[in-house]
Amino acid sequence: MSLNDSRFRRGDLVEVKNPDEILPTLDGNGTLDRLPFMPEMVGYCGKRFRVSKRVVKTCYYGVDSGMRKFTADDVVILEGVRCSGEGHDGCQKMCAVFWREAWLRKVDEGAPVRPPIPPESKQELHLRLKTKTSPTKYFCQASEILNATANLSRLERVTKCVSEVRSGNCTSLEMIKRIAVWVFWKARKVLLGPYARGSQKSTPTHALNLQSGDLIEIKPMAAISDTLDKAAYNRGLSFTPAMAGLCEQQHEVERRIDKLIVDGTGQMRRLHNTVFLKDSMCGCDCVAFGGCPRGEYAYWREIWLRPVEVPVEAGCESAMVRERECLPANS
């Protein structure tokens, strides 16, 4: 399908098809063109969403990293739809879910809502879907991202930027800014080395036991650099230029991230003292030519953060009062 003929564009209202419509599109592994339809997606059947972006290209992270393309131009991301990990032993990666257009239908504004889907129909779809290939290897969109996509040539990296604009994912000016950001940080790395790099040979760690909703402040850049090695990593996690732009700002913790399925391997990896922050995304414009629509969360080590205590008001008993008023003394 060419971009000129594509049915779904950013902002389109679409409905996830019923299980009995999705089943015929799947092979014995529960995939379409090697992209799995996951158990976490079944609950969205019959629901409506806006198209966030067409997936003209996508990043991947794991043992290696880079940019790839789906062999068929028929994949989109829907607004607000992320994988819960419930079907994969509680993976906490919160990946944006990829949707083949064959699993969706375009609907008009104000179109009547379809009748509820019978539970037995959802169960039949669940039975077709695979979640593991071995006791220690998971099967999901992250594990299969390398199988469902192909490498981008250098020329395609340029042409895909044009496709991003043509698909409606961004404007020409936005793409020019993305490329300029990439060129700047690429040149800086060549001339000066990795941004924010430190001098640690064995990088330190620190536990704050942060939880969802906690308010934190990101430490100054100098303090963070003291926790990094010469490649700007702390225990395998890089500190990126996009993250540096948030230093000394206050943010709310989205959730802890203790385990995730690694892209391309299916292995569940454990993390320690790491959190996601609300509205803090990977900012891959700095490292990926033209950016990526996948919208992964940035990984924050707790050693890069410090808790923020809300000042105590008269009559309040707790020093960490959040989003509630003090009660009168006689209440």
What number of other Cβ atoms are within 10 A of residue 115's Cβ? 8
How many domains, the chain?
2
Query: What's the one-letter identity of residue 260?
Result: L
Q: What is the pLDDT of residues 126-136, one digit of tens each?
A: 999 999 999 99
First to last CA, the chain: 66
Q: Check whether residue 109 and residue 233 sit in a common domain.
A: no
pLDDT of residue 63: 62
Nearest CA to 215 out of 310, 127, 122 is that of 310
Run of H or E residues at 128:
helix 119-128
Is-contact 229 197, C-beta < 8 A? yes
The residue count of the chain comes to 331
Q: Check whether residue 79 and residue 209 sit in a common domain.
A: no
Is 213 part of a structural domain of the chain?
A: yes
| pLDDT bracket for residue 72 (50, 70, 90) | confident
Q: Check whether residue 121 and residue 221 sit in a common domain.
A: no
Q: What is the pLDDT of residues 155-196, one digit of tens each?
A: 999 999 999 999 899 999 999 999 999 999 999 999 999 899
Q: Check whether residue 149 and residue 211 sit in a common domain.
A: no
User: What backbone phi and psi angles, to 5 degrees, belong to 75?
Assistant: -115, 135
pLDDT of residue 328: 36
Is 170 part of a structural domain of the chain?
A: no
| Alpha carbon distance 309, 275 (integer Å) | 18
Q: Check whether residue 130 and residue 217 sit in a common domain.
A: no
Q: Check whether residue 331 and residue 265 sit in a common domain.
A: yes
Q: Check whether residue 148 and residue 202 sit in a common domain.
A: no
User: What backbone phi and psi angles, to 5 degrees, belong to 275?
Assistant: -140, 160
Question: Residue 101 sits in which domain range?
Answer: 13-160
| Alpha carbon distance 204, 227 (integer Å) | 6
Is 186 part of a structural domain of the chain?
A: no
Q: What average pLDDT does range 59-65 have in this prediction?
A: 74
Who's near 154: CB < 8 A, 6+ residues apart? none
pLDDT of residue 123: 95
pTM of the model: 0.88
* Model confidence at 7: pLDDT above 80: no
* Model confidence at 4: pLDDT above 80: no
pLDDT of residue 313: 58
Nearest CA to 235 out of 307, 303, 285 is that of 303
| pLDDT bracket for residue 312 (50, 70, 90) | low
Specify which residues 269 forms β-bridges with: 260
Residue 1 or residue 303, greater confidence: 303
| pLDDT bracket for residue 66 (50, 70, 90) | confident
Is 106 part of a structural domain of the chain?
A: yes
Q: What is the pLDDT of residues 99-127, one digit of tens each?
A: 999 999 999 988 888 888 999 999 999 99
| pLDDT bracket for residue 1 (50, 70, 90) | very low
Concatenating the DSSP letter of every residue in 251-271 gives: EEEEEE--EEEPTTT-BEEE-
